[in-house]
Amino acid sequence: MSRNAAVTTNESASKSALAFIFLTSLMDSIGFGIIMPILPGLLMEISGDDLSATAIYGGWLTFIFALMQFLCAP
């Protein structure tokens, strides 16, 4: 394999990896955008509490999610 073909293959792999990372970030952002507006109402319905008590549950859920992302990330 010539050097030019190796460079072209490497650039192609780099572009594919960048596209994969972008799409993964996009899907993650869309998921947050869908769930965040309905989360308080959903938690109020599930818990049966008022908004202030539900905010505490939502804060703990967000904290646990962030902690697990930190601990389990590669």
**What's 18's DSSP letter?**
H
Contact 60, 74 (CB under 8 A): no
Tell me the C-alpha to C-alpha distance, in Å, between residue 16 and each of 10, 20, 49, 55, 74. Answer: 10, 6, 47, 40, 20
Query: Which tokens sit at 54?
Result: 């539900």
pTM above 0.75, yes or no: no
Q: What is the pLDDT confidence band of residue 13, given thresholds at 50, 70 and 90?
A: confident
Q: Is the pLDDT confidence value at 3 over 90?
A: no
What digits encode the pLDDT tens for the residues 32-58?
A: 899 888 988 999 999 999 999 999 999
Contact 40, 58 (CB under 8 A): yes
